[in-house]
Amino acid sequence: MNRILSLIKTDLNTTFGFSALEYKFKSKKDRWQIIIFGIAILSLIPSYLLIVNGLSSLYEAYRNIGQKPMFLLNGFLYSQLIVFIFGILYVMSKYYFSNDLSVLVPLPLNPRDIIGSKFISLMVNEYLTSLPIILPFIIIYGTRGKEGILYWLYSLILILFVPVIPLTLASIIVMLFMKYTNIKGEKDLLRIIGYFLLLIAILAFQFKIQSITQNAMIEGEDFFLKMATDSNLLVRKLGLGFPPSMWGALSLSSYSSIIGLLNLILFVGVAIIIFIAMIYLSERLFFDGLIGNLEVSISRGSSKIKATDYNKKIPSFLALGLKEIRLLIRTPVYLLNSIGGVVIVPIIFIISTSMDGGQSLEGLNMLIKGNPHLISIAGVGIITLLGIMNCVGCTTFSREGKSLWIQRTIPIKAKDQIFGRVLSSLLVQFIGVGAVLCTVAYLGYLTIENVFWITILGVLGSIAMAELGMIIDIYRPLLDWDNPQKAMKQNLNVLIAMGIGALYLLGVGFLVYKLLDKVDILFIYGIMGLVFIITSFVLYMPLKKLIERQFQILE
Amino acid sequence: MLKLQNLSKIYSRGDIKAVDNINLDIKSGEIFGFLGPNGAGKTTTIKMIVGLLKPDNGKVFIDGIDAWKNPIDAKRRISYVPDSPEIYDKLKGIEYLNFIADMYEIPKEIRQERMEKYLEIFNLKHAVGDIIGSYSHGMKQKLVLISALIHEPKLFILDEPMVGLDPKSSFQLKEIMRKRCDEGKTVFFSTHVLEVAEKLCDRIAIINKGKIIALGTMEELRNHAEERESLENIFLELTENE
């Protein structure tokens, strides 16, 4: 047992860098960095409050139709679904691609020890995702309904167990996936494609289940009568999509009766059983999927170079951009999060609208018919948002990791650093533009005008976003990582950049909203373009200075 | 070629003087060996020269250029080989070399000629089309060496260059270092291997606890020692007395 505790402790320590943080807090300069970082996190609060405010209205809406528990179901469903989807991404890199494996595997440990400790560490990490989602639901429900002490006690237990089931399912799926894709040859490519398809399949399945349950629900004749008498009716019908969320919601909505207790036991019991099953399964699956990864690929020396392999001289910024793109494409974690990220958003949109039989499309069509320019404006907004969500700019220096010494000792100007790195982000953005335009075509609104404005303004907006991300990343680069996942998806710079980027976009959106219907649409496009160009220029100056400074003082 | 003036570095934690007021003046055409026990301040000094660690005090001049005031100009004249070759695992060897050549603006014909020459010398031609991640530690070390030689730097700075190299490559590297100095270029390197320093270096500095405790040619060091003895004995004697 001591062994496992020690494993968990070490894993948590390296994942969250407690020892490193303690070391940092002792030095004055770094202390400031932590404080500024805290302020940056605080800047995310306005957007968050806006969402929480919206949730209060949702609570009222459910209360008015006598289906209050539905509110809780939403909380559980969202948090568990997101933990599951993130889980699929995290589990893969944590279990199979982290550098500590080469240390852990030769130690006298069972697969269940390794998986168990990694699972716990991941779970702690997932609380960072699940808590901000589930807490507002539970607090709003509890305070508005003036629920009793037992409600809060149940809540505490449920919150602790929320990530277990989705993360366990993600672990099992990934372990099976890795075992059966552990094929010699083009393993990496196969896995990237397979993984992507897996994610899409899971999402499609989820949306389909929801639409089936929704349709089945309304079909019953005495539906409205039943709804008036049974406040848990909607939860029981809709919760079938993911029963654990239903148990969570029911245990809280009926906490004062035995039904609540039974559902709580069900929620916790199933979580424990499925976790134990996963741990036992890991004994049979883990090493089978892993061994191939630890093989040292031997340089075969078969790929002889030709005279054409010696490139013509190209400008530094271009060489840097090219290097960035190569690394992005060849590192599965980077590829999934950057290009995968910009492609998946439109795909989710298409899946979610096509799986519900076109109901949501009708509403959207009505909205667009009222103002056909909305498509272009929304397209530009999405592309610009993807400019930060693609994670390329806001992790560009972090991704250098221990190789940053190369950038700092070669004679390359800060200007070229910016151009090259923005260029690599834009290349990813062009794929995003393509995906968004495909979505527009799917909706049936593809016109030359839309293509033109979405592309031009979207790219302009993306430049500013890439620069914003780079400012944050060079200010506090995360260089000491052992797993590329840490440089990208577990990098708080992404979160900070997204928060600030979202605020900025809200501002631009508000401006456009105020102007819409008052002035000519061309004028609005002009204003948007101007705002993006000015922002890019305003960000360029401090970014250049910051790169020069940080390249000198980083240790 | 390389001038260090009152160079100091204090680590913020515990007020440890990693490098304490170092002065060095290294002429063109010299091979300069930088010796010292573990933790003496060798790597810290080298990092301050190449721009990876900002000095708390003092100046670094490379070819007369203040390396911390005009870093780009200074970096064009040097190349640096770190003690552990952390480079981009997902690039092919040749892609990495081309990338570095672009940074130093080397035209195609020249880069091809130099790359072919050094790939041949270090016996890496067969592997340069492969991903760096598939290389052994020594192969990576050789790739970094080749990349550092592509632009024929005036000042070649190496931190423990012999670690991880096979005997043949180690021999070749020593040959290259010697040849460069014959051409009037400068080599500055740190090492633990005293025989290498003894045979190869024109001058040697021994650093201990951040301070230079001995500086001169092999002959001068011997004269200062109690008995005319080997570098190993001189080294042990000096670092123990401190």
**pLDDT of B124-154, one tens digit each?**
888 888 888 888 888 999 999 999 999 999 9
Query: What are the residue boundaries of the structural domains of chain B, listed by start?
Result: 2-241
Interface of A with B in 408-467 (CB under 8 A): 408-413
More confident residue, A45 or A530: A530
pLDDT score at B162: 87
Render pLDDT for B186-202 as a digit per residue (tens, 0 to 9).
999 998 778 888 888 88
pLDDT score at A408: 93
- At residue A20 the predicted structure's pLDDT band, cuts being 50, 70 and 90, is low
pLDDT score at A276: 92
CA-based nearest residue to A337, from A389, A293, A380? A389
Quote the CA–CA distance of B152 and B140 in Å, as a whole number. Answer: 19
Taking the Cβ of residue A313 and every Cβ of chain B, the question of whether any pair is shorter than 8 Å is answered with yes
Other beta carbons within 10 angstroms of residue A365's beta carbon come to 14
Whether A516 and A524 have beta carbons less than 8 Å apart is answered as yes
Question: Is a pLDDT exceeding 90 seen at residue A534?
Answer: yes
Please list the residues that pair with B214 across neighbouring strands. B206
ipTM of the complex, rounded to two decimals: 0.88
Q: Choose among A298, A316, A330: nearest Cβ to B103.
A: A316
Find the mean pLDDT for residues A328-343.
Answer: 83
Question: Is a pLDDT exceeding 70 seen at residue A476?
Answer: yes
pTM of the entire predicted model: 0.75
Quote the CA–CA distance of B103 and A240 in Å, as a whole number. Answer: 59
Q: Choose among A314, A405, A552: nearest Cβ to B102.
A: A314
Q: What's A297's DSSP letter? A: P
Other beta carbons within 10 angstroms of residue B56's beta carbon come to 15
User: Which residues in A lie closer than 8 A to residue B72 (C-beta atoms)?
Assistant: 411-413
Q: Choose among A301, A411, A555: nearest Cβ to B76.
A: A411
Taking the Cβ of residue A127 and every Cβ of chain B, the question of whether any pair is shorter than 8 Å is answered with no
User: Which residues in B lie closer than 8 A to residue A29 (C-beta atoms)?
Assistant: 12
Whether B221 and B234 have beta carbons less than 8 Å apart is answered as yes
Under an 8 A CB cutoff, do B102 and A311 touch?
Answer: yes
CA distance B180 to chain A (A): 20
Find the mean pLDDT for residues A52-60.
Answer: 85
Identify the closest residue of chain B to A332 by CA–CA distance. B90
Please classify residue B37 by burial: count the beta carbons closer than 10 Å to its beta carbon, then call 0-12 exposed, 13-18 middle and 19+ buried: middle
Under an 8 A CB cutoff, do B102 and A315 touch?
Answer: yes
Under an 8 A CB cutoff, do B129 and A28 touch?
Answer: no
pLDDT score at B98: 92
- At residue A224 the predicted structure's pLDDT band, cuts being 50, 70 and 90, is low
Under an 8 A CB cutoff, do B102 and A410 touch?
Answer: no
Under an 8 A CB cutoff, do B91 and A327 touch?
Answer: yes
B2-241 fold: Rossmann fold (3.40.50)
pLDDT score at A213: 64
Q: Strand, coil or helix: what is A477?
A: coil
Q: What is the average pLDDT value for chain A, to the nearest integer?
A: 82
Selected for mutation to probe chain B from A295, A397, A405, A407 (highest B CB count within 10 Å) is A405
CA distance B67 to chain A (A): 11
Render pLDDT for A260-307 as a digit per residue (tens, 0 to 9).
899 999 999 999 999 999 998 888 888 777 765 555 555 555 566 777
* C-alpha distance from residue A306 to each of A47, A268, B87, B112, B129 (Å): 55, 62, 23, 10, 9
Under an 8 A CB cutoff, do A310 and B133 touch?
Answer: no
Under an 8 A CB cutoff, do A304 and B87 touch?
Answer: no
Identify the closest residue of chain B to A297 by CA–CA distance. B134
Q: Choose among A29, A298, A323: nearest Cβ to B91.
A: A323
Residue type present at position A193: I
- At residue A27 the predicted structure's pLDDT band, cuts being 50, 70 and 90, is low
Q: Choose among A300, A312, A402: nearest Cβ to B108.
A: A312
pLDDT score at B4: 92
Selected for mutation to probe chain A from B10, B70, B88 (highest A CB count within 10 Å) is B88
Find the mean pLDDT for residues A177-185.
Answer: 69
